[in-house]
Amino acid sequence: MPVMSTDGASLSGETVAIQPSANGMPDAGSGGESAAGQVERHVGLDAVMARAGGENFPVALRLLPREVRYHLRAIYGYARLVDNLGDEYPGDRNAALDWVEDQLDSLFAGTPRHETFAQLAPTVRSFGLGREPFDRLLAANRLDQHKTRYEDFDELLEYCELSANPVGHLVLAVFDASTPERIAASDDVCTGLQVLEHLQDVAEDAAAGRVYLPADDMERFGVTADDLRAPAAPAGLRGLVAYEASRARALLDRGRPLVASLREPARLAVAGFVAGGLANLDALQACGFDVLGRTPKAGPPRVLVRLAGVYVPSLVRRGTGPA
């Protein structure tokens, strides 16, 4: 699932390698470490934040005020932590996600415990954030533990309501910019970014037993699950990826008026969202939609060109709700 990037700084730290025991949970060792302790050791804040560089949510740009960067980084830290546990934890992932729910209980009771939640607490307090967006991100990762296929695009959009759109709602709240019109536009942007990330991660997801390409579209383009594990994308898969990429681009274009509706610094931050998505879609197209040979990613020059194209016109055009 997609989560936000930080300001691009290189953060040190790596996930601790924990070997599963015979029962599927990491070995507690001679110290008899609890399951909760094992999870906490796996998800140190530095390890979580070190994953920022490759994401499609470049929101905490260096040009944003330090306080804004702090709050966006805190939201990113939570989203990345949940995603890390749902995708990579070497033990019982459902139990690890139960640990997240317990941490949320403590956070919203005013007694955060783990460092990620302690950093999130000032953001929750400052903006009066409700629990629902955090619960929905958690629910998406719970769904990933048992649902591995999506029958059609509408079903995939329902997943994005959990996995991506809550991030946009939280970002708008940080900028005190939530209106019904802006939330709807933000949902388009976040869903477009989620669809894009699924395309970039086709091979990785297939290796994990998950397929986010709609089953009816796979049938239409003659693509099988085996095609997703090939060394290079066959023609049918390239056509399918191009088709889904056009859907992602349409979503980003539909949400793009959100940028012009915002004041600074929100305008620059959301322009970064949109520009990063468009630039990475350009990179997909440039490689002929072959998502198996390598993961197509846009470099800084391509992103900056797209950022200028999204941000500069927004300075003279307004839309999608009041300031």
- pLDDT tens-place string over residues 120-129: 999 999 999 9
Question: What is residue 29's predicted lDDT score, i.e. its pLDDT?
Answer: 40
Q: What pTM does this model have?
A: 0.84
3-state SS string over 275-304?
HHHHHHHHHHHHCCCCCCCCCCCCCHHHHH
Instruction: Select the more confidently predicted residue: 26 or 286.
Output: 286
* Beta-sheet strands, E only, within 120-215: none
At residue 5, what are phi and psi to the nearest 5 degrees?
Answer: -90, 155
Which single residue is written with the structure tokens 């004041």?
Answer: 263
Select the highest-mean-pLDDT range: 7-11, 238-242, 268-272, 314-318: 238-242
Q: What are phi and psi of 134, to 5 degrees?
A: -70, -40
> For residues 250 and 234, what is the distance between their CA atoms, to the nearest angstrom?
25
As a whole number of angstroms, the distance between CA 66 and CA 10 comes to 16
Instruction: Name the residue type at position 214.
Output: P
Residue 50, pLDDT > 60, answer no
CA 202, CA 217: separation in Å to the nearest integer?
A: 14
77 vs 194, residue with greater confidence = 194
CATH level 3 topology of 148-323:
Farnesyl Diphosphate Synthase (1.10.600)
- CA 236 to mean position of chain CA atoms: 27
Region 2-7 average pLDDT: 41
Q: Percent of the chain having pLDDT more than 70? A: 80
Other beta carbons within 10 angstroms of residue 309's beta carbon come to: 14
Q: For residue 272, which amino acid is it?
A: G
Reduce the DSSP state of residue 175 to 3 states and report it.
coil
- The CATH number assigned to the domain with range 1-9+35-146 reads 1.10.600.10
pLDDT of residue 14: 29
Q: What is the mean pLDDT of the chain?
A: 85
For the chain, give every domain's residue range.
Answer: 1-9+35-146, 148-323
Same fold, 1-9+35-146 and 148-323: yes
Residue 295 confidence class, pLDDT cut points 50, 70, 90:
confident
* pLDDT confidence of residue 146: 96
Strands (E) located in 22-122? 57-58
